[in-house]
Amino acid sequence: MNIVTIIQARMGSSRFPGKILKPIGDSYVLNYVVERCRKIIGVSNVIVATSTLPQDDAIVEWCNQHSVAYYRGSEDNVLSRYVDAAKPFNPDYVMRVTSDCPFVDYELASEMVEAIEANPVEIVDIVKQLPRGLAVEIIKYDALLRIHEGKTEERHREHVTYYAYEYREQFSRLAFEPNPEIQAPEFRITLDTLEDYELIQAIANHFNDPFVSCADVVGYLKENPEIAKINAHIQQKPVV
């Protein structure tokens, strides 16, 4: 089975511009994301998908320096960016990752790949809530093409898999329950604001290991509520 991981990445951000090339620990946010994705068992390729905007030249330069495959496409139509980035690899499935999640859970993702190989449905549903920033999404490439070629709204083109969750009945699905140790939706381990960045830096500095287990990260936040509360007040921007 051919599964490609595509990391959507851009320098623009309304709340924290340039966030994905900010330093954390001894590395950078984007490097954490890419290297953790490369640890996912069963994935054939990892591609960074960015836009054609001049401000995203910095991402392309970083990819070239670090021998990371990349694709440039539409800034706003992220769905088409995914479809076109994946096309040369002729994948069976696409795994969606966002570049503002430096602690993306490669162990969880590996388990999801194993599940989809055993039961090749169109999309995997994580049935328990996790901290924002750990999960990945896996969708069959044919299903992604069907969404892309169909009649969709702007929200479906901006949020790649949103259509498949809004119109659940149109897709075959697999319910997947993650490790109970990471079922802690009260935590926010993603990067969208300065407060998020402060928390991310605290985690990176404490472990000094880009491959730290997410179970250990969640355990650290449980044991250190003063760290967890740094960004506890941040509200996720709604899908419109």
Q: Where residue 18 sits, what CATH number does that domain have?
A: 3.90.550.10
Tokens of 69: 């495959």
Q: Which of 16, 25, 19, 36 is nearest to 7 (CA)?
A: 36
Q: For 96-145, how does the pLDDT look when each residue is reduced to its tens digit (9 = 90+)?
A: 999 999 999 999 999 999 999 999 999 999 999 999 999 999 999 999 99
In a domain, 239, yes or no: no
C-alpha–C-alpha distance, residues 187 and 133, integer Å: 9
How many structural domains does the chain have?
Answer: 1
In a domain, 240, yes or no: no
Angle at 105 between CA 101 and CA 107, to 5 degrees: 165
Element (H, E) at 137: strand 137-140
Asked if 160 and 74 count as a contact pair (C-beta separation under 8 A), the reply is no
Answer whether residue 190 shows pLDDT above 80. yes
In a domain, 235, yes or no: no
Rounded to 5 degrees, φ, ψ at 123 are -150, 150
pTM, 2 dp: 0.95
- More reliable by pLDDT, 16 or 56: 56
Domain span at 115: 3-228
Give the N- to C-terminal CA distance of the chain in Å, as an integer: 35
